[in-house]
Amino acid sequence: MGFFDDPSYDIDLERNPEMPAELLVSEIGHNLRFKGHCVVKLGVDEDVLEQASDEAVDLKRAGKLQAPPQQLIDALLGPEGTNEYCRLDQLPEEGDEDVEVGPELLGLNRRITKIAGASIAFCASEGYDNCSKSGEYLVRGGDYSDEVAELTEESCSEWLSLLNRARLMLVYIFGEGRGQLELLPFDEDSDSVEIATEPDMLVILRADQMHHKHQSSRGTFSILSWIMAAENSTTRGWTGGLSRTFGVTIPTARELVEWTQNRLKELLETEALDKDADIPRDWQLMMRHSFFRNNRSPVAVRGEAGHMPTTNNNRVLWDAINQGSDFVTDVPYHRWDHELYYDADPNCWMQASCFRPGGMIRTNIKHGQFIEGVDLFDNKFFGVSNMEATGMDPMQRHILETSYEALFMAGYNKKSLMGKYIAVFSGCTNPEWNYIDKEAGACSGTGSSQAITSNRTSFLLGIMGPSTSIDCDQSSAAMALMLGGTAVTPATERRTSSGGDSEAAICGGVFLQMTPFMWPRFNAYMNPNGRCFSFDQCSNGYVRGECCASAALKPYAEKVSGELSVIEGPCIGTMVGWRMTNNGRSAGLHAPSGPAEQEAIADAIRHAGISPLDLDAMERFGCTES
C-alpha cells in the first residue's frame, strides 16, 4: 500500500450516523477478532476538525505540549509520529484562567468515548474484568526532537501500569496531511499491516497482540486512549520481580522495565548512603520487593507437603478454607470410644483423677480435627521392618513421609539424598503414643522418643546435616522453620568456608491425638461448643486439631565470582527475615507480652531489610481462653 493510497474503513459513521449501538459493538468485535484492528470514520465536519486542529496548535504555543521521554516514544506513536505530547484530560477545561481545552477538542473526546464504550463491551465479551477507558493523550506528529524529557519515577509507574493493563488502543487522527500506520503483531510469524491514515480516522487495535508505528508530519495531531482491564494479581517479592509485575511480553514496555530495574538499583544504593533520600513511597515498596539489601540472600521454599484433615494436598486445603469449610468433627470412633470419657458437666475434668492409678478420665469436650488414615504407613519404601513400624509413633511416620514428599518436590530422590548435608528440624510436642497400652518390644524406646522424630528422618534418608526435634509449646514448627532458614543461609564467611552451611533443610511440624489421657489437662482451655472464635466476644477456648506439614528450604541465590546469582528451581515462596524471643519475667508463664512481641516483629523487619510500611499482611495466632 502506498503512502497516499485511499484508506478503507470497516465502519463509516459519516454514511451511517444513526448506526445502532448493538450493531456498532458487533462490527467492532468482528473486526478485532478477525484481523486485530478496526478502522472507523467518525464523520466529523471538516470545519470542526479544522477548529480542533487550531485549538491543538494553541496548546502547543502555550507550552502545554512537551517532548516525551525517549522510553515512551514507542508506547505513543513511534519515532516518526511522536514529536510532542500532553495529557489532555488533565488540562483545565473551558472557563479556567489557565489555557483550557477548546470546545471542539472536548467534542472529539465525547465522540471517541462513545466508541470506547463499544470497545469496552468487546473486552467484556473476551472475559476481561472491570474494563475501563484511560485518560486521553494529545500527540503532535512528526519526528521526535533530540531534546527529549527525562523519565521520572512517577511517569514510569503510570505508563507501566497502563501498558500492563492495556487490551485495546484507540488512535484518532486529525489535522493536516496524511500518514501511514504500521501494525506489527507480536507473533513473529505473522505479517505486518499498513494502514493509510487521514483526518477523521479512528483506529482501534489490539494492544495486547500488536505493536504500532505511525509516520506523519508535524501538522498531524492524534488523540490516544486505551481500554484497560483489571490489574493482574502477581507474586510479590523476589519470586515475582518486575518481569512478572509488569507485562514485559509487550515490546513497548521492555525499555521501561529495563529503566526501572536500573533505577531501582540506583535508589537502593542512594537509600543505603542517604537515609533522608527523597524516594517515592511506591518505589520504596517496589525496590524492597525486588532486591534484597543485606548480606543474607533470601531462603527459597523449594518443596512442601502436608497431611491435613480430609486431604494430603495443601492446595486443596487452602481452597477449602477459603470457601469456609469446617473440618471439626466429633471424636471418631476408630480413635477411641469417647463416650466412655465424655461428661456434660463443665467441671467434670476437675474431678478426673487421671494421674492416680485407677482414676477415670473425664472431659466435657468431644470435638476436634483429625487426619484420616493416621494408621497407614508404607514402611517398605523407607526400609523399615514390620516389627519396627509397629512400635513407631504415628507422628514419626507422618513427618517422615511429608519430609520425603517435600524433598522430592525440591528435586531429590532416595538415591540422591544419601550422604547429603541436609538439616532436619521437626516441631513436635509430648508424644501421646507413650500413654497408649502396647506390647513392649525391642523398638519401643525409639518408637516413642520425641528426639527420634527428626533423627529417624535423617537416618532412613541417609542425610547428614544437623537433626533435632523442637518443642516450644504452640510455636514448635515456627521455630523449626526459623532454624532451617538459618541453616541454609550463608551468614558468616567462617561457617561457609568450613562447610558448615547446609545445602538444604527439611522443616516440619506434627501433632496427632492418639488418646484422651491428656484431655483433662487441656479441658480448661478448650471450647465446649467445639469451635474456635479467636478475637470474637463469644470466644471461649480453642479446639485441638491434627496436622503434619513439611517444607524443604534451599538458598535462593549463590555467589559466583563474588556476585549473587539466582539458583534455578521450583520456588513456592521466600524467607528473608525472622526472629524469635521470649517474654522473660512477665505477668505469667502463659501470659502474652506486648513489648516482647513488638520487639520480635521489629527485629524481624529490620533483619529483612524492609520498612514496616512494606508489609502486606500479618498472620496472628489466637488462643481464645474464657
Which of 20-34, 256-270, 383-397 bottoms out in mean pLDDT, i.e. has the lowest? 256-270
Q: Which of 140-144, 187-191, 194-198, 544-548 has the lowest mean pLDDT?
A: 187-191
CA atoms within 13 A on the CB side of 4: 1
pLDDT average, residue stretch 204-225: 92
Confidence check: pLDDT of 118 > 70: yes
pLDDT interval class at 461 (50, 70, 90): very high
What does the pLDDT look like over 578-596, one tens digit per residue?
888 877 777 777 777 888 8
- Per-residue pLDDT tens for 374-393? 888 888 898 888 888 888 88
For the chain, percent of residues with pLDDT exceeding 70: 85
List the domain boundaries for the chain. Answer: 11-228, 241-288, 299-332+367-578
Q: Supply the Cα-derived Rg of the chain in whole angstroms.
A: 33
- Would you state the cell numbers that stand for residue 308, as one nine-digit string? 491435613
* In the block, residue with C-alpha cell 483423677: 353
Query: 7: which DSSP letter?
Result: P
What phi, psi does 552 have (nearest 5°)? -95, 120
| Residues, the chain | 626
CATH code for the structural domain at 11-228 = 2.60.120.620
CA distance linking residue 595 with residue 44, whole number of Å: 70
| Three-state secondary-structure class, residue 597 | helix
d(CA 381, CA 505): 21
Please give the backbone phi and psi of residue 314, each rounded to the nearest 5 degrees, phi first. -65, -35
pTM: 0.68
Q: What are phi and psi of 472, to 5 degrees?
A: -120, 10
Ordered alpha helix ranges (H), 476-626: 476-488, 493-497, 519-523, 594-608
CATH number of 299-332+367-578: 3.40.47.10
Residue 315: φ, ψ to 5° = -65, -40
Label residue 247 by pLDDT band (50, 70, 90): very low
Q: Report whether pLDDT(450) > 80.
A: no
Strand order across the 547-555 sheet: 467-470, 422-427, 504-511, 547-555, 299-307, 573-575
SS3 of the chain: helix, strand, coil, percent, to 5: 35, 20, 45
Q: How much is the pLDDT for 294?
A: 56
**pLDDT for residue 3 is more than 70:** no
Taking phi first (over 0 means left), then psi (-120 to 50 degrees means alpha), and beta for anything else, what does residue 111 get? alpha
Task: Over range 515-540, report the average pLDDT.
Answer: 81
Task: Indicate the average pLDDT of the chain.
Answer: 81
> Which residue is listed with cell 487522527?
173
Task: Kindly give, in sequence order, each residue whose CB lies less than 8 Å from that of residue 267, ignoring residues fewer than 6 positions away.
Answer: 277, 279, 283, 284, 287
